[in-house]
Structures are given as structure tokens and as C-alpha cells.
Amino acid sequence: MNSRTLQTIRSLFIEITVIVASLAVMMNSLAVPNNLTPQDNAKTLIQNLSQKTVSDFSLDSSASLSPNLKTNGKYSALKRIDVTFKNRNYWIAQIPNKTVVLTFDDGPSPDYTPKILKKLAQYNIKATFFVVGHRVEHHCDLVRQIVDKGHELGNHTYSHRNLTQLSAKQQEQEIAKTQEAIRKCVGETHVPKWFRAPYGVQNQITFTILKKLNLSSVLWSVDTNDWRIQSTSQTIANDVIASHGKGIVLMHDGVFNSNATVSNRNATVNALDLFLQPMIDQKIQFVTLSKALSPEKTE
């Protein structure tokens, strides 16, 4: 056998290997249904998370706002955290098992915030409220009730606009004016350290402003879709229950009217009775973001 024949056999062998490998990949992708809904994905995410440890997650190297990590994989100080879609797996993994953070966005609302506060008191649990600056100015009494009952405030911008369509200056106004409205209403101790962008939409400009204002971005791991017309208290409750007792749950106490969204928060209020007691019976804790992500928890 001369060297040319040998070479031909070798390249033929490589080609066959590549074909077999590609076929295997194709068969594999055929076997896995690819029509998962975002909720299915969220459920899988949470299921996977509860089985993983911090070291299973690699930090997003592009996230300059991530904290300094110790060599053992635990973080040394809660200076800046960035629970965005990009690296939320890492941060959700930091939340202790059997711990759920309920977050309520778009309030305060005179129609629904008091009802939600009453339910939370009934079950003796704490939550985090991402309030809208101009609503804080109109309903400072409600913001005061939120903090008086031991809940936490987050910043959800001043007028709930899509930040990525604004200039850097406008973005900063949206965020800073809300901090100021809260400071005026309830004082320095309750000025938020958490920020959630409306629609979950933010960009690098937002991150730079957040850093300057000492705020940390937080999205969610469970979207209850309570703003959708087709949602019911049962579908909302099911989504929370499907969190397997770990994660950050997105709900709403305020309403922004549009044709595509529900015009009230009755389903959200009623959902609380459907999932709180069963989950509390499973020894699941409902705490504020600061409690769930405090550095002491992971030390």
C-alpha cells in the first residue's frame, strides 16, 4: 500500500467519522422536543438549579458589575449584583433552597397594593415591591405602608418607559428621580438598592447609571404572566408552585392599561391564597430580595 492510498483511506475514515457524528447530533436533536414554552424553560431552569452548586456556573466575563469572587467560588461582598437574563442562573443558585422572593411591580396602587399587603400580613411573609416613581409621589401613604410592614422597596423607574429608547440623560433621570421620590417619602433607610427595568429591557448605559447610583439590576426567574388577559389566579399560582421553592417571582400590584393586558390585578391578589399556604406547608420561606441574596447566606 503506497502513501497516497494510505492518505485516501485516512481522509475517508475522517469523513465517515464526521458524518456519523453529525447524524448522532441530528438524531439527538430530533429526540428532544424543541417546542418548549418560556414557562417550561423556566421550570427546567429551576429544576436544574436546585441540583447544582455555585461552582457549576461560570460567571459571565463580560459582566463588569459582577462581584469579586473568592477562590472557593463564594462571593466576598455584596457590592454590585446583576441578576439579568444573562447571568441570572448564577444568582438564582445563590438563593438558599426552599426560598422564594415574591416581587410586585408597577405600584403602588390604591386598588391592589393594600389588598396584597393584607394577604402578605395574613401569611406573615415579606416581599419586595418595585415601585414606579410618579406613583410614589401620588401615593406616598401606600409606600409608607409597604415599608412599615417590613417589606422592601425596589426602583422601577419614574414613568415606566422602555429605557433602551431613551438617551443616557433621560435614563438617568428615570432612575434617579425615583430614588429621590422614595427618599422624600420614606427617608434614606428605605432608598432602594435594587432596580428592575420596565419590560426587563436595559442596556450598557443602564448598567453604567446603576453603578453610579449604587443600584443592582434584578430581573426574575419565574414570570407568572399575571398581566396577560388569559391568565387566571390558578395559572399564576401554578407558575409559582412550579418554581420548586426557589427563585424570584414576577408579579404586579400596579396596572398600566393597554389592550393586550388585564385591566385589574384581581387574579394576582386571589392567586396568593392558592399557592402561599401549600408552599408554606412545605417549609418554603418567602423573603425579600435582600434577605435571599445577602452575603451572609452563602458564607
- Coil, strand or helix at 76: coil
User: Are 186 and 143 in contact, with CB atoms under 8 Å apart?
Assistant: yes
- Which residue out of 151, 226, 252, 253 is catalytically annotated? 252
Contact assessment for residue 167 and residue 144, using Cβ atoms and an 8 Å cutoff = no
Exposed/middle/buried for residue 276 (C-beta within 10 Å: 0-12, 13-18, 19+): buried
Q: How far is the CB of 105 from Zn ion (least distance, A)?
A: 4
Nearer to Zn ion, 49 or 209 (CB): 209
Q: Is 273 in the active site?
A: no
Residue 94 grid coordinates: 445563590
Choose, by CB under 5 A, the member of 107, 133, 192, 198 that binds Zn ion.
198
At closest approach, how far in Å is the CB of 278 from Zn ion? 27
What is the rounded CA–CA span in Å between residue 93 and residue 210? 23
CA angle 57, 61, 62 (to 5 degrees): 130
**What burial class does residue 100 get, using C-beta atoms within 10 Å of its C-beta: 0-12 exposed, 13-18 middle, 19+ buried?**
buried
Position with the least CB separation from Zn ion: 105
CB of 88 to Zn ion, least distance (A): 17
106 touches Zn ion by CB under 5 A: yes
Looking at 82, 105, 106, 239, which residue is catalytic? Answer: 105
Q: In which residue are the cell numbers 430614588 written?
A: 179
Take residue 46 and report the three cell numbers written for it: 429551576
Nearer to Zn ion by Cβ, of 46 and 250: the residue is 250
C-alpha cell at 252: 404586579
Hey, how many other C-beta atoms are within 10 angstroms of the C-beta on 262? Answer: 18
**Residue 112 C-beta: closest distance to Zn ion, Å:** 14
C-alpha to C-alpha distances, 258 to 113, 202, 227, 228, 262, nearest whole angstrom: 20, 22, 10, 11, 8
Q: Minimum distance between the CB of residue 258 and Zn ion, rounded to whole angstroms?
A: 12
Q: Which three cell numbers stand for residue 170?
A: 433621560
Task: Tell whether residue 105 is a contact of Zn ion (CB under 5 A).
Answer: yes
Stretch that binds Zn ion, among 24-32, 64-72, 104-112, 138-146 (CB under 5 A): 104-112
Residues 207-226 within binding reach of Zn ion (CB under 5 A): none
Residue 142 or 279: which CB sits closer to Zn ion?
A: 142
Beta partners for 75?
Answer: 69
Binding string, residues 125-164; x marks residues near Zn ion by CB under 5 A: ----------------------------------------
Instruction: Tell me the window of 53-61, 65-73, 103-111, 115-123 that interacts with Zn ion (CB under 5 A).
Output: 103-111
Is 252 labeled as catalytic in the residue annotation? yes
Number of residues that bind Zn ion (CB under 5 A): 3
DSSP letter at 71?
T
Q: Which stretch binds Zn ion (CB under 5 A): 37-45, 70-78, 106-114, 268-276?
A: 106-114
Candidates 84-92, 193-201, 225-233, 273-281: pick the segment binding Zn ion (CB under 5 A). 193-201
Q: Minimum distance between the CB of residue 196 and Zn ion, rounded to whole angstroms? A: 7
Q: Which stretch binds Zn ion (CB under 5 A): 48-56, 185-193, 197-205, 266-274?
A: 197-205
Pairing of strands 216-218, 99-105: unpaired
Residue 245 sits in the site that holds Zn ion (CB under 5 A): no
SS3 call for 273: helix
Catalytic residues: 105, 252
Instruction: Provide the binding-site residues for Zn ion, judged by CB under 5 A.
Output: 105-106, 198
